[in-house]
Structure 1
Amino acid sequence: MLDEYGLPILMVVALLVTLFTGYPVAFLLGGLGIVFAFIGGINLAFLGTVSSRIFGGVIENWLMIAIPLFVFMGLMLEKSGVARNLLLTLQRLFGRVHGGLAISVALLGIVMAASTGIIGASVVMLGLLALPVMLKQNYKPEVACGIIAASGTLGILIPPSIMLVLMGSIMQISVGALFKAALVPGLLLGALYVLYLTIIGKLRPDWAPLPDENAEDVDTTPLAAALARDLLGPVILIAAVLGSIMAGIATPTEAAAIGAAGSMLLALFARTLNLGTLRDVMRDTSRTSAMILFVVVGATCFSVVFKRLGGDIMIEEMITGTGLGPYGLLLLVMGLIFFLGFFLEWIEISFVVLPLLVPVIAKLDFGLGLSSQAILVWFAVLVAVNLQTSFLTPPFGYALFYLKGITHGEISIGMIYRSIIPFVLLQVLGLILCILFPSLVLWLPGMTGSG
């Protein structure tokens, strides 16, 4: 195999090695694609097809419009203070429960996940809002850091998710079906977090103590009124976005536009919508969208050249040649993606690995009586749950670095690494449950006729 597939293997090794240089991943992917095209003696005319694939297929895909709109929606909710007010109100709701503040962070993570897929914004927002309060309340630092990092990553799974939009484009399956399929697994992970925190509060109350009722900054607004003020708006927005998609009223792109407009209305009602906020949101939206687009372009070049050199055939032979059954192959693929998550971001894994695996997975018979499209939807959600761990696993877990960046040296990176261990295990448990019980993924799409 080394003689036959030497260049594809070398291409993968070169990518893994160059990642440690700190050079932007988008340029690494595109540059390696061009370099190995010359090494492999690929005709220059073929590189023209790469440009056609990028500009005539990927960039012109109308689903891409949803990305900056969803980014805008999440950033507007964060920078306008809507999310901060919601956290403080949820804290009051669970105030007399050990671990109540941590549970509030988990619930806010779920709410924010359903309104944004920007992990950096979610983790930084939760960290700035909750970490000082949790440490002041004498929470065990590992508990505080772990729930903030884990809850902040829920946005990559719970719809509307940018990752699911891109997966739908890559795998040629319905984004609406993916949104429906990912909803229950995403809520399942959130429920596992809350269950874990509840157990911690019962068994180790000293790790998650009760707040001081005599604090000077306690909100005196009646709890019911505070919930109506701070929770009702985001819930209506989420219902409008997800409900319009699931009911077939709007496409994901149209629903993203609804979400962007709705987030501005919430900021307006909160009296925090001004020129400065709008400018900051638009600037950060442009930066995030440009980063994603550059990675898409680079990954497209890498993957096209990799396939031309026989990499897709190599992957198929490696997987099918193991002698494992369908579930054995699935576990092998999940293990591979989990391992890659230690070194690569979800965008690179999605654009480089998924196009190679989809043809293999679509042909497998799991004995579930499912169509190939349903199997791909199930597989995509399994990959999405798996990829969520890539934000939490060292050495390149971006959520860990986002959190470290806002602690100002008060918490060591080693402590942050330790804090995420139970939450990574909970994510693996959620993945196992979705493999063992496919109905967790496929029940909602089946109920709405898109499974």
Structure 2
Amino acid sequence: MLDEYGLAIAMVVALLLGIFSGYPVAFLLGGLGIVFAFIGDIPLPFLGTVGSRIFGGVIENWLLIAIPLFVFMGLMLEKSGVARNLLLTLQRLFGRVRGGLAISVALLGIVMAASTGIIGASVVMLGLLALPVMARQGYKPELAYGVVAASGTLGILIPPSIMLVLMGSIMNLSVGALFKAALFPGLLLGGLYALYLLVIAQVRPDWAPLAEEGGEAHLTEEHSPLVIALLRDLAGPVVLIVAVLGSIMAGIATPTEAAAIGAAGSLILALGLRQLNWGALRQVCRDTSRTSAMILFVVIGATCFSVVFKRLGGDDMIVDIITGTGLGPYGLLLLLMGLIFILGFFLEWIEISFVVLPLLLPVVEGLEFAGVSSTGLMVWFAILVAINLQTSFLTPPFGYALFYLKGIAQGNVSIGVIYRSIIPFVLLQLTGLILCIVFPSIALWFPGLTD
């Protein structure tokens, strides 16, 4: 194998070494592609196809326009103060339930995931709003930081997810079908979080005291009726979610058009809440440009890397290794899920999606599973990968949610406490993944892709 696939193996090793060195991933991927093209004596005219792939598959892909629009929508919602108002109301709703504040954070994570999908903004926003109050109320740091990190990462799975938009482009699948398929698995994970919080609050009451026990009854002194406050604070996000997701799932609008609706709706919502000003708009536009440029450069670099890697026989190597195990369909699926889970410790979801996922597709296309139609197989696999990749935000050493929390903590807790806090939630995510493997209908029932 070393003689036949030596350069392909060397590319993988060089990529891992480069990532550990801290070199920017986008330049690393593109640079390795060019370097190994010369080492492998690939004809120069072939490199011209790399440029064609970049322009034809990335730059001219109208679907990718949805990414900056969804990013803008999420950042503008974060600036509008919608999340803060809703958290205050949810805390009033669950104030007399042990662990109620943590449950409120989990529910807010679900709502904001369905209206933003921006992981960094969600984690930071939830952390700044909830962690100081949870600390004053006496919550165990291992519980408080874990629920903030896990709830903030739900946006990568629950639509409108940027990851699903990119997966639709990579796998040539309907984004609307992916959004429908991801909805119930995302809600399942949120439900598992809430169930765990209820159980742990009863088993370890010192981890999640009642507000009165912690010396702080509520986050706010608002005295308006709870039902009115709940309807008021939910109205904006719900209308936006229905406008964006409803238009996509009903086939009324494309993902790009729906993203434009969401961006405009977030502006109107911020204006209605009197949170829109030139400073906020300028900051949102700057952050949108930075995030979109980062994603675009990684996609371009990954395209160059993938084209050269395949030319050197990398795709054949992956197929030979995986199919040579002699495992059945479910055995191979578990092997692939384990591989993606391990890669999530070291790679971002963008690199895994654009570098690893295309290499695994030929293997998956040849598998057959009971209860999964041929048309639903790739959608089901995409959702399993998306659930799996959500853990990459929580697993050390490169879990971004962990670093966001460490920045918010400002030395109040050690990174070890943060690492320990996410262990139960990673296990819950793996539980959700296993449930979706055992019961494919969780993902495939809503889009109507079951046998």
> Aligning the two structures, in what range does the TM-score lie when normalised by the shorter sequence?
over 0.9
Report if the CA contact (8 A) 2:372-2:450 is conserved. no
Among 398, 401, 409, which residue is 2:400 paired with?
A: 398
How many correspondences in the alignment? 448
> Pairwise mapping of residues 258-273 of structure 1 onto structure 2 (< 5 A)?
258-273=261-276
> Pairwise mapping of residues 409-424 of structure 1 onto structure 2 (< 5 A)?
409-424=411-426
Q: What code does the residue aligned with 2:445 have?
A: W
Match of 1:81 in 2: 81
Match of 2:91 in 1: 91
Report if the CA contact (8 A) 1:94-1:100 is conserved. yes
4+ residue segments displaced more than 6 Å = none
Match of 2:234 in 1: 231
> Pairwise mapping of residues 10-409 of structure 1 onto structure 2 (< 5 A)?
10-212=10-212, 217-368=220-371, 370-371=373-374, 373-409=375-411
Q: What code does the residue aligned with 2:26 have?
A: A
How far residue 369 of structure 1 moved from its aligned partner, in angstroms, is 5.2
Q: Which runs of 5+ in 1 are unaligned?
A: none
Q: TM-score, normalised by structure 1?
A: 0.97
Moved more, 63-72 or 82-91: 82-91
Once residues 113 and 195 of structure 2 are traced to their aligned partners in structure 1, the CA distance between those partners, rounded to angstroms, is 18
Match of 2:436 in 1: 434
How far residue 266 of structure 1 moved from its aligned partner, in angstroms, is 1.1
Moved more, 359-368 or 405-414: 359-368
SS of 2:19's partner is helix
CA RMSD of aligned residues (A): 1.3
Q: What code does the residue aligned with 1:47 have?
A: L
1:42-93 CA-partner distances (Å, limit 9, x unpaired): 1111111101100122221111010001001110111121111111111111
Identity of aligned residues (%): 80
How far residue 116 of structure 1 moved from its aligned partner, in angstroms, is 1.6
SS of 1:5's partner is helix
SS of 2:189's partner is helix
Report if the CA contact (8 A) 2:139-2:207 is conserved. yes
How far residue 10 of structure 1 moved from its aligned partner, in angstroms, is 0.7
Report if the CA contact (8 A) 2:91-2:218 is conserved. no
How far residue 368 of structure 1 moved from its aligned partner, in angstroms, is 2.9
Once residues 359 and 319 of structure 2 are traced to their aligned partners in structure 1, the CA distance between those partners, rounded to angstroms, is 8
Report if the CA contact (8 A) 1:109-1:122 is conserved. yes
Q: What code does the residue aligned with 1:274 have?
A: N
Moved more, 376-385 or 40-49: 40-49
Q: What code does the residue aligned with 2:395 have?
A: T
How far residue 211 of structure 1 moved from its aligned partner, in angstroms, is 1.3
Q: What code does the residue aligned with 1:395 have?
A: P
CA gap of 1:172–1:214, structure 2 versus 1, over 3 A, is: closer
Once residues 355 and 218 of structure 2 are traced to their aligned partners in structure 1, the CA distance between those partners, rounded to angstroms, is 52
CA gap of 1:217–1:185, structure 2 versus 1, over 3 A, is: closer
Q: What code does the residue aligned with 2:408 have?
A: I
Report if the CA contact (8 A) 1:177-1:450 is conserved. no
SS of 1:28's partner is helix
CA gap of 1:179–1:216, structure 2 versus 1, over 3 A, is: closer
How far residue 216 of structure 1 moved from its aligned partner, in angstroms, is 8.5
1:332-364 CA-partner distances (Å, limit 9, x unpaired): 000000000000000000000111111210111
How far residue 367 of structure 1 moved from its aligned partner, in angstroms, is 3.1
Report if the CA contact (8 A) 1:80-1:277 is conserved. no
How far residue 8 of structure 1 moved from its aligned partner, in angstroms, is 0.4
1:5-34 CA-partner distances (Å, limit 9, x unpaired): 000011001101110111111001001111
SS of 2:380's partner is helix
How far residue 215 of structure 1 moved from its aligned partner, in angstroms, is 5.9
SS of 1:445's partner is coil
Once residues 216 and 247 of structure 1 are traced to their aligned partners in structure 2, the CA distance between those partners, rounded to angstroms, is 39
How far residue 221 of structure 1 moved from its aligned partner, in angstroms, is 2.1
